Amino acid sequence: MAMAMRAAAAFFSPSVSPSPKQQHTHSVFSPRRGSTRRIDPRRLRAFPATELTLEELNPSVALLRKTAEAVGDFRKTPIYIVGTDCNAKRNIAKLLANSIIYRYLCSEDLLEDVLGGKDALAAFRESDEKGYLEVETEGLKQLTSMGSLVLCCGDGAVMNSTNLGLLRHGVSIWIDVPLELAVNDMLKSKGAQAISDPDSFSQAMAKLRQRYDDLKERYAVSDVTVSVQNVASQLGYSSIDSLSLEDMVIEIVSRIEKLIQAKAMMEAAGKPE
């Protein structure tokens, strides 16, 4: 519990700055000499093999134009991304932030910085779930007060009613990805032997499937659900390999725009004349 309180106090206090991978640099408008290589998202599959940096995920001019048309309807509304953690989810969230000129943060990255890495966070979550949820609550209380933010959330954000309630301060998006992608990411982090071992894949898939089944109803409480498989089907692709990151961002922005407009119409209808 002492670890939980220490992490909660430091989770996103003014004295703690985001690590370099979390800092939002508006590289689209102000390229910096010597910056990281930049990749045209139109040439990327939706699910690159690694997590890319914010600077690598530059939106195309066409995407910026499309999002600019919609963003006025939800300017400054925070956006919370939930779902199974994987490179796909993070890359989509980062490109979304760059496309609508929002800041990007990842709650799991912030906790890893405080606790000392991925292994330390995993050990904390498994040994003290109550403490982990308290930390997540404290972090969400501070982060949900920020506007113009895309926050990539860990599972703690949906694991109790308090945290789900905090997500109501903005628009929550469930990015539903095929579990195979998350399993592959998990095995890659453990090395080549894990990738090539069929038993490792089966065990990891069984564990992740159980977690997904336990949480999918909570993910589904989100304001918007965007399934990568459904988006690929809607666009007429035979597989998700043809889907681009920009396809996903356009769908998400469109869905948020419709949601905000619907809420505005309901509020207008409820006002006395």
End-to-end CA distance of the chain: 54
The stretches of the chain forming alpha helices (DSSP H) are 2-10, 61-71, 87-100, 107-115, 118-127, 129-143, 161-166, 179-188, 192-196, 198-219, 228-234, 245-270
pLDDT of residue 224: 96
pLDDT of residue 12: 56
> pLDDT per residue over 126-171, tens digit each?
898 888 888 888 888 888 888 889 999 999 999 999 999 999 989 9
Q: Which domains does the chain have, with CATH numbers?
A: 50-250 (3.40.50.300)
Residue type, 135: V
How high is the mean pLDDT in each 10-residue block of the chain (273 residues)? 56 48 38 45 68 91 86 82 95 96 92 85 87 87 86 93 92 95 87 73 92 96 96 94 92 91 79 67
pLDDT of residue 4: 54
Q: What is the DSSP letter of 150?
A: E
CB 143 within 8 A of CB 153: no
